[in-house]
A and B are shown apart, each in its own frame.
Chain A
Amino acid sequence: MLKIENLQASIDDKSILKGLNLEVKAGEVHAIMGPNGAGKSTLANIIAGKEDYEVTNGTIELNGEDINELSPEERAHNGVFLSFQYPIEIPGVSVTNFIKTAINETRKARGLEDMPAKDMLKMIREKSELLEIDRKFLSRSLNEGFSGGEKKRNEIFQMAMLEPKLAILDETDSGLDIDALRIVANGVNKLKSKDNAVIVITHYQRLLEYIIPDFVHVLYDGKIVKTGDASLALELEEKGYDWIKKELV
């Protein structure tokens, strides 16, 4: 589904990704871990198409198609979803209206009619139940005055509504208490299928107790330096990153 080869990228002439390779197949869950400043969020933003970064080398393919020239919205229309570490507040636009706009713009881009209101309501009902979201919450302005946990849960709600092919969760666990973490993880697990894939970016192993990854990658200094199964996350939790740094020397 996603194939990244020798990706090199920089921001303001500062090199951040230095030859990164990653392949994610449909049905898989990948975790990307690593110390602060390794380039984890940069990778997420580059896949989603943020224009602040300059890709200087390498390719990103989604389902066999090079997406490097596509705008963020075109990537979204092709099924890429990024759950933001710091979701944006939009006063005056309710959660419901925002997600309706997002869904219908995506449908428009795919040559489909607007989703009938009845179907939309049904879907909102189902997905909000899945994520144990109070209905009142949906009529509030998007992310305005939301707690950190509410913002993250709202991100996963939007993901559930948009049904992406590739979901990237950028530190979705930060700011979540243990109950919210369980609900969010449960939601992600229920949305998982053989046709979609998930990349979980996290500092901690905690989330990976609920969302079991097929692969765990260690991102360090702009490259993936180690790949293993779920047990690697446990090892990192226990020993930190220093032993990997030493291995590299």
Chain B
Amino acid sequence: MELKEKILSSYVAFENGININSDIHEIRTEALENFEKLGFPTKKLEAWKYTSLNTILKNDYSLFLNKDASVDLADVKKYFIHDIDSYKIVFIDGKYSSFLSATTHDAIDVCLMSVAFTKPKYKVVIENYFNKVAKQDNLTSLNTAFATEGAYIHIPRNVELEKPIQIINFTTGSEAATMVQPRNLIVVEENAHVQIIERHQSLTSNAVLSNVVTEVFADRYATVDYYKIQNDEENACLVDNTFIDQKSNSVVSMHTFSFGGNITRNNLNFYQNGEHIDSILKGITIIEGKQHVDHHTLVHHIEPNCESHQDYKGIFDERSTGVFNGKIIVNKEAQKTNAYQQNNNVLISDKATINAKPQLEIFANDVKCSHGCTIGQLDSDALFYMQQRGIPMKEGKALLMYAFANTVLESVKIPEVKSRITKLIANKLGVNIGFDL
């Protein structure tokens, strides 16, 4: 049976385990119909031209894992940023792990969607925000149809959360192939501030497909700093659908670090519903083997006097492939928009590929929009400089790539995240850090 059929026919069984007499479930069933109509994306769709899911959709995924898997903290500790005090929302095979988590309901809510969906006190928030900014496309609809669990974060007005929140989804590979669909909702009220670190991590070599949807609402003057660490096993695929709704004077930054996994697709969408908004989108991709990373970004400038800054760097070795599709829409009303987009790529091997496509749709006449895209090899003059100082070619190349990627890290606000990513980059590139970076 094809995966689509399997999913559709499993829906009745899925409904047995949940409350179907709710508004939420109406949203789910509508989404299911939508997915039934659209199906999985194929390369015929412009947005999926360079990313094929064909091979991974052939796996016979287990959709609902009944076994409660457990993991040892010692085995997974390395996947946390463990040298900081933080809240943690951890899932194992899609199920909440209270053992690994540290949540709170004390003035703020750092907890679970399953709780938010069922407890009356969250009803209003769910009604106002759930599925309100998510696009009704193929994979988002699929996620919505089965949305039951994920991270629920609600930061009330004027709360500046000192501790970052880590959202981690582990898959244990207890089945030959596992599909999980976490659904996250993050509501940050006026003048509130939150930092979030998200990670999806497979713990085996069995196939994993994660189809994640995250909705973020940043109200007026809110600040959200979001970090996604994608450094998964070679048989793990991730489709990350993130939708961010920003109100006036809010600042939202998203850093995506893609260092591993089979196929990683990031659909990152920013909607600026207000004035004086700043949206920051940064990414570092360093992959090799047959890995594939696809960044599809959208920044929709709807109102005047807003900014967006995009800076994506990619380093591709061996037969790896990358996609960068950066779309900026500036509405007619969105005068005085400043939109910047930069995408620089280095191909280390002759067999590596990058497909880069900036897409600007500008309907206003008084705007500053710039985009730059480069694809190249390493600067031979810079390499000569290194060698002249006695640094051998191989080490010199690694150091240059390290420097190339490093500029993206300047805007990382959590020092422990910065140093972790720095070390990951150094390791990946084989930079011999016999020094403190």
Question: Which residues of A line the B interface, CB within 8 A?
Answer: 48-52, 71-73, 75-77, 80-82, 84, 87-88, 90-93, 96-106, 109, 114, 158, 162
Contact B385 A109 (CB under 8 A): no
Q: What's the Cα separation between A80 and B387 when bound, in Å?
A: 11
Contact B387 A93 (CB under 8 A): no
Contact B392 A92 (CB under 8 A): no
Contact B435 A101 (CB under 8 A): yes
Q: Which residues of B contact A77 (CB under 8 A)?
A: 390
8 Å CB contacts to A: which residues of B367-398? 379-382, 384-393, 395-396
The answer to whether the Cβ of B115 comes within 8 Å of any Cβ in the partner chain is: no
**Residue in A closest to B406 when the chains form the complex, CB atoms:** A92
Contact B389 A98 (CB under 8 A): yes
Contact A92 B402 (CB under 8 A): yes
Interface range on chain B (Cβ under 8 Å from partner): 20 to 34
Q: Which residues of A contact B389 (CB under 8 A)?
A: 76, 98-99, 102, 158, 162
Q: Which residues of A contact B405 (CB under 8 A)?
A: 92
The answer to whether the Cβ of B120 comes within 8 Å of any Cβ in the partner chain is: no
Contact B384 A105 (CB under 8 A): no
The answer to whether the Cβ of B364 comes within 8 Å of any Cβ in the partner chain is: no
Q: What's the Cα separation between A73 and B386 when bound, in Å?
A: 8
Return the contact of A100 from the options B381, B382, B434 (Cβ within 8 A): B434
Contact B388 A82 (CB under 8 A): yes
**Residue in B closest to A96 when the chains form the complex, CB atoms:** B435
Contact A73 B385 (CB under 8 A): no
Contact A90 B390 (CB under 8 A): no
24 chain-A/chain-B pairs, Cβ below 8 angstroms:
A51-B380, A52-B380, A73-B393, A75-B388, A76-B389, A88-B381, A88-B382, A88-B386, A90-B403, A91-B403, A91-B406, A91-B407, A92-B403, A92-B407, A92-B409, A92-B437, A93-B399, A93-B403, A99-B389, A101-B399, A101-B434, A114-B434, A158-B389, A162-B390
Q: Which residues of B contact A80 (CB under 8 A)?
A: 388
The answer to whether the Cβ of B63 comes within 8 Å of any Cβ in the partner chain is: no
> How distant is A172 from chain B, measured CB to nearest CB, in Å?
14
- Would you list the 10 A-B pairs with minimal beta carbon distance, nearest first? A92-B406, A72-B387, A106-B390, A76-B390, A102-B389, A88-B385, A73-B387, A88-B382, A97-B435, A90-B403
Q: Which residues of B contact A106 (CB under 8 A)?
A: 390
Q: What's the Cα separation between A75 and B393 when bound, in Å?
A: 13
Return the contact of A73 from the options B392, B403, B407 (Cβ within 8 A): B392
Given contact pairs A73-B392, A97-B436, enumerate 17 new A-B contacts (beta carbons under 8 Å).
A50-B384, A71-B393, A72-B388, A76-B388, A76-B390, A77-B390, A84-B388, A88-B386, A90-B403, A92-B437, A93-B402, A100-B434, A101-B391, A104-B434, A105-B390, A114-B434, A162-B390
Q: Which residues of A contact B177 (CB under 8 A)?
A: none
The answer to whether the Cβ of B56 comes within 8 Å of any Cβ in the partner chain is: no
8 Å CB contacts to A: which residues of B409-437? 409, 432, 434-437
Given contacts A92-B407, A93-B399, contact A73 B380 (CB under 8 A): no
Return the contact of A48 from the options B388, B402, B409 (Cβ within 8 A): B388
Q: What's the Cα separation between A106 and B392 when bound, in Å?
A: 9
The answer to whether the Cβ of B400 comes within 8 Å of any Cβ in the partner chain is: yes
Q: What's the Cα separation between A97 and B382 when bound, in Å?
A: 16
Q: What's the Cα separation between A96 and B437 when bound, in Å?
A: 10
Q: What's the Cα separation between A24 and B409 when bound, in Å?
A: 47
> How distant is A181 from chain B, measured CB to nearest CB, in Å?
23
Q: What's the Cα separation between A96 and B393 when bound, in Å?
A: 20
Return the contact of B385 from the options A71, A84, A101, A114 (Cβ within 8 A): A84
Q: What's the Cα separation between A49 and B386 when bound, in Å?
A: 12
8 Å CB contacts to A: which residues of B181-199? none
Q: What's the Cα separation between A81 and B389 when bound, in Å?
A: 7
Q: Which residues of A contact B409 (CB under 8 A)?
A: 92
Residue of B379, B392, B407 with highest tally of chain A CB at under 10 A: B392
> How distant is A29 from chain B, measured CB to nearest CB, in Å?
21
> How distant is B432 from chain A, measured CB to nearest CB, in Å?
8
Contact A105 B399 (CB under 8 A): no
Contact A90 B388 (CB under 8 A): no
Q: Which residues of A contact B396 (CB under 8 A)?
A: 73
Contact B399 A71 (CB under 8 A): no
Return the contact of B391 from the options A52, A82, A102 (Cβ within 8 A): A102
Residue of A49, A71, A73 with highest tally of chain B CB at under 10 A: A73
Q: What's the Cα separation between A213 and B435 when bound, in Å?
A: 39
> How distant is A43 from chain B, measured CB to nearest CB, in Å?
15
Q: Which residues of A contact B393 (CB under 8 A)?
A: 71, 73
Q: Which residues of A contact B379 (CB under 8 A)?
A: 88
Contact B399 A72 (CB under 8 A): no
Contact B390 A102 (CB under 8 A): yes
Contact A100 B435 (CB under 8 A): yes
> How distant is B380 from chain A, measured CB to nearest CB, in Å?
7
**Residue in A closest to B435 when the chains form the complex, CB atoms:** A97
Q: What's the Cα separation between A99 and B434 when bound, in Å?
A: 12
Q: What's the Cα separation between A159 and B435 when bound, in Å?
A: 20
Contact B435 A73 (CB under 8 A): no
**Residue in B closest to A99 when the chains form the complex, CB atoms:** B389
> How distant is A69 from chain B, measured CB to nearest CB, in Å?
15
Contact B390 A87 (CB under 8 A): no
Q: What's the Cα separation between A1 and B22 when bound, in Å?
A: 88
> How distant is A199 from chain B, measured CB to nearest CB, in Å?
14
Q: What's the Cα separation between A84 and B17 when bound, in Å?
A: 70
Return the contact of B384 from the options A72, A100, A101 (Cβ within 8 A): A72
Q: Which residues of A contact B406 (CB under 8 A)?
A: 91-93
Q: What's the Cα separation between A112 and B414 when bound, in Å?
A: 39
Residue of A76, A77, A162 with highest tally of chain B CB at under 10 A: A76
**Residue in A closest to B433 when the chains form the complex, CB atoms:** A97
Q: Which residues of A contact B387 (CB under 8 A)?
A: 49, 71-73, 76
8 Å CB contacts to A: which residues of B334-380? 379-380
> How distant is B419 from chain A, measured CB to nearest CB, in Å?
12
